[in-house]
Amino acid sequence: MLIISSREFRQNQRVYFEKVDKGEQIIVQRGKDKAYALTPVNEDDVYFNAEMVERIKESIKQVEEGKVKRISTPEGISDLLGL
Q: Please check the confidence at residue 53 and state whether its pLDDT lies above 90.
A: no
User: How many Cβ atoms are within 10 Å of 34's Cβ, its own excluded?
Assistant: 9
pLDDT at 41 over 80: yes
Q: Give every CB contact of residue 40 below 8 A, 6+ residues apart in sequence.
A: 20, 21
What proportion of the chain, given as a percentage, has pLDDT over 70?
100
What is the DSSP secondary structure assignment for residue 73, as one 8-state letter? Answer: S
CA angle 17, 15, 9 (to 5 degrees): 80
Is the separation of the CB atoms in 36 and 28 below 8 Å? Answer: yes
pLDDT digits (tens, 9 = 90+) for 9-40: 999 999 999 999 999 999 999 998 999 999 99
Supply the DSSP symbol for 28.
Answer: E
Q: Tell me what the mean pLDDT of segment 54-58 comes to.
A: 93
- Check whether 44 has a pLDDT greater than 90: no
